[in-house]
């Protein structure tokens, strides 16, 4: 398996007052930095899917950027560009606003994908199916193209049509979506209470 990682960062952050969620500070670092550091240890390359106006802020974070072109149709647009444009065999996908996901969970996803390399692997956190935390074989590009021609844009819709294998990561807390100031404060409080920061795939304090 030749695995690359894609961080989805093209959202407009409306519930954050238009702030770029990936750049919001958590434990003293931009949220996207936490993800990039962990993905770097388990993927050959790390890419970021974002809008053109975000490029200056993300240019030095990853190995390269995949920029929205024209009217983006949400995450499926970025995923499609990556599946067509990268030379990997599998793509690990995660959004920029879930910075608490551990290296252990990423490794669980990879183990599931290694065991079923022809299948899409999707995380189930014990409460919900996390449809933006997945590993997709690049061979699924044609399937995604066909789905997009229908005008549908929900990732779940494509997954239900194509089929997938669930990876059970029993830690809903790790997959908390930080898309409001209240959620950001909750994540920081969680880290403070446990005496931890998010570094190197584990939760521990920063020096």
Q: Does domain 3-204 have CATH number 3.60.21.10?
A: no
What is the per-residue pLDDT for 12? 58
Count of H-run helices and E-run strands, the chain: 7, 11
**Annotated domain spans of the chain:** 3-204
pLDDT in tens, 26-77: 988 999 999 999 999 999 999 999 988 899 999 999 999 999 876 666 899 9
Residue of 97, 106, 9 whose CA lies nearest to 54: 9
What are the Cα distances from residue 169, in Å, to 5, 93, 119, 126, 175? 18, 15, 18, 7, 9
Other residues' Cβ atoms within 10 Å of the Cβ of residue 75: 20
Structure tokens given for 56: 């200056």
Q: Distance between CA 191 and CA 119 in Å, rounded?
A: 35
> CA–CA separation, 166 vs 125, rounded Å?
10
The predicted structure's pLDDT at residue 64:
93
**75 phi, psi to nearest 5 deg:** -55, -35
The pLDDT value recorded for residue 163 is: 97
Query: What is the bridge-based pairing of β-strands 25-26 and 29-30?
Result: antiparallel
pTM above 0.75, yes or no: yes
What residues in the chain have per-residue pLDDT under 70? 11-18, 70-73, 194-207
The full DSSP string for 40-63 is: HTTSSEEEEEE-GGGHHHHTTTSS
Buried residues in 147-185 as b, exposed as e (16+ CB within 10 A): bbeeeeeebeebbeeeebeebebebeebbbebbeeeebe
For residue 141, the model assigns a pLDDT of 97
The pLDDT assigned to 79 comes to 94
The pLDDT value given to residue 181: 86
> How much is the pLDDT for 204?
39
CB atoms within 10 A of CB 26: 19
> What's the confidence (pLDDT) of residue 20?
84
């Amino acid at each position: 398996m030749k695995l690359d990682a894609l961080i989805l960062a093209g959202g407009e952050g409306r519930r954050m007052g238009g702030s770029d969620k990936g750049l919001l500070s958590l434990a003293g670092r931009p949220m996207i930095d936490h993800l990039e550091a962990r993905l770097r240890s388990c993927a050959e390359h790390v890419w970021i899917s974002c809008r053109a106006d975000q490029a200056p802020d993300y240019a030095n974070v990853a190995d390269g950027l995949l920029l929205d072109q024209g009217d983006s149709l949400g995450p499926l647009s970025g995923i499609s560009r990556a599946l067509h444009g990268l030379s990997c065999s599998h793509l690990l996908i995660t959004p920029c606003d879930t910075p608490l996901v551990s290296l252990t969970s990423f490794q669980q996803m990879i183990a599931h994908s290694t065991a079923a390399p022809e299948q899409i692997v999707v995380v189930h956190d014990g409460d919900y199916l996390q449809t933006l935390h997945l590993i997709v074989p690049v061979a699924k590009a044609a399937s995604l193209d066909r789905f997009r021609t229908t005008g549908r844009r929900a990732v779940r819709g494509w997954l239900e049509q194509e089929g997938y294998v669930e990876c059970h990561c029993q830690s809903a807390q790790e997959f908390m979506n930080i898309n409001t100031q209240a959620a950001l404060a909750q994540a920081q409080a969680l880290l403070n209470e446990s005496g931890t920061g998010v570094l190197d795939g584990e939760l521990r304090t920063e020096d």
